[in-house]
Amino acid sequence: MTPFWQLLTACCLSCGLALAAPAGAGQTALPALPAATAAERAALTRGRALVADFYALRVERLWQSFTPQMQAEWGPLAAFRAYREAGLRTYGAERRVLRERTFTQGGVTYYVRSATFGRDPGTVWAVVLGFDAVGRVARFAIVAEAKTQPGRVAAAREAGAWAG
């Protein structure tokens, strides 16, 4: 497992990505989170905005926020857009947000949004955005929460268990 995936696994686990009781059905407005630091408050605000754009197929702002390393990992903007469009066709629109979390680890401040989707209501997907010290997106992944157990993130990635 590469250092990135080890870090992602650790972040997901430290964040408590276990299935929990869902929030109210049809939840649209998200409650404020008690973010401990200014960086976490910024990650919450910016993460919500970037995820909203991403879900609305406005992927440019997120892709432009990526560090050069993330852009290289995800490929050109057209490939990232195709990834998102395929995710929408496969999984549908976000149906219900179950929880959001922010935390800081290893100099990266994370925003994690867990939700279900219309065409896959039985799976809770976690969108993970990690912001570096200057606010660039240094980590981005979408993983099924059941796949975030130790040793399973790499297997999920290889099996194509990623939503967009």
By C-alpha distance, which of 8, 40, 15 is closest to 142? 8
Please give the pLDDT value at position 33.
Answer: 56
Phi, psi of 110 (to 5 degrees): -105, 145
Single-letter amino acid, residue 41:
R
**What are the residue boundaries of the structural domains of the chain, listed by start?**
38-147
Asked if residues 66 and 50 have their Cβ atoms less than 8 Å apart, the reply is no
Tell me the sheet residues that pair with 97: 115
**Whether pTM exceeds 0.75:** no
Sheet holding 120-131, edge to edge: 94-105, 108-117, 120-131, 137-144
Reported CATH class of domain 38-147: alpha beta
Per-residue pLDDT of the chain (164 residues; tens, 9 = 90+): 344 434 444 444 344 433 232 333 344 445 555 658 999 999 999 999 999 999 999 999 999 999 999 999 999 999 999 999 999 999 999 999 999 999 999 999 999 999 999 999 999 999 999 999 999 999 999 999 975 544 443 343 444 443 44
